[in-house]
Structure 1
Amino acid sequence: MTEKTGTFVVTHAEADSVVVQDVDSAQVHTLTGNDGLEVNDVLEGTLAPEPPLEVSWTLIDVEDRRSVELVDSDLEPTQHSKSLAADAEVGELCQHERAGRGEIHVFRVPGDRVEDAARDVLEDDETIARAARLEAVRVEVRRDADAGVLSVRYLPS
């Protein structure tokens, strides 16, 4: 096997090992050792397979390291997000760029399912992987059950 360079999300961390997921390929790698990495950390770097079996990996270079904060906000979606959702079908995703950098995903959800949908987003590993691809360090989930709107804000540093 050869080295792999990319963006990786820490999905599991223990004192002596770490599991990371490549955000582009979804491939999972177990790293030997742990140099202070925690779940939801994002690494841009290079991994190398450990000889002789090459079933575990070593982190040999780190270009960038950041943590993604998941926030279950008590704020409602913005008026702009609500207006996007007003024209959407239930279950439809509307995406728009934030002023500057970042992205906002807005979903139309039945009002009685908004809390479940928010919890699903906050617990989904793909939320962190998407944040890593978007170079976000904070993911903020907002909701309005009366309007049936859930917004997920991917915010950069």
Structure 2
Amino acid sequence: MTDEKTATFLVTSAADGSAVLSDVTDAQVHTLSENPGLAEGDVLEATVAPDPPMNVTYSVVEVAEHKQIPVEESDETPTPQSKEIAEGLDAGDLETVERAGVGEVHVLGVPEDGVDQTVEDVLADEQTVARAARIGIERVEVRSGEDFVSVRYLP
């Protein structure tokens, strides 16, 4: 019987000698005993297995895909759909809608003086990349309005 696990992982930490992977579906953390060339923020579709005899650390058995998912601020204005959604939101509210085709759009209601900080927070949050990996997205675009932030998960 094997304890191998195949999943999509986000690399949450990487050093010369090891790396830490977080399963984007169940958030289980796997510390690798060696770093096979990973960098923080990488996304892997891979199989990992525990290292004997203690089964405390893991090794990468196979990598099906290794990529980065860019999360970038856009200079473009929010879409009409995002503006319409934002009209009904109070500060602190979140509305999620599916995009036509593949992806999602999240519209966050924020105070007017909190837009810039919210954009920075979304850009820096590893969970933005984890969500993108979980739903199979290739890039994330952040746009902002006067009192809202739009996060677009795009194919």
TM-score (norm 2): 0.92
CA-CA distance at 1:82 after TM superposition:
0.7
For the residue of structure 2 that corresponds to 1:76, the secondary structure is coil
- Residues 1:149 and 2:148 aligned together: yes
Matches within 5 A, 1:3-152: 3-144=4-145, 146=146, 148-152=147-151
Give structure 2 stretches of 5+ with no counterpart.
Answer: none
Paired residues in the alignment total 154
Deviations 1:44-71 (A, max 9, x none): 1211001122111001022222211110
Runs of 4+ in 1 over 6 A off after TM superposition: none
Distance in 2 of aligned mates of 1:111 and 1:27: 36
Distance in 2 of aligned mates of 1:41 and 1:99: 27
Distance in 2 of aligned mates of 1:68 and 1:56: 26
Distance in 2 of aligned mates of 1:15 and 1:74: 36
Distance in 2 of aligned mates of 1:97 and 1:131: 13
Give structure 1 stretches of 5+ with no counterpart.
Answer: none
- Give yes or no for contact 1:77–1:149 (8 Å, CA) kept in 2: no
Distance in 2 of aligned mates of 1:23 and 1:151: 22
- Give yes or no for contact 1:106–1:152 (8 Å, CA) kept in 2: yes
CA RMSD of aligned residues (A): 1.5
TM-score (norm 1): 0.91
For the residue of structure 1 that corresponds to 2:138, the secondary structure is strand
For the residue of structure 2 that corresponds to 1:117, the secondary structure is helix
Distance in 2 of aligned mates of 1:139 and 1:39: 17
Deviations 1:7-34 (A, max 9, x none): 1101111222111101111121111222
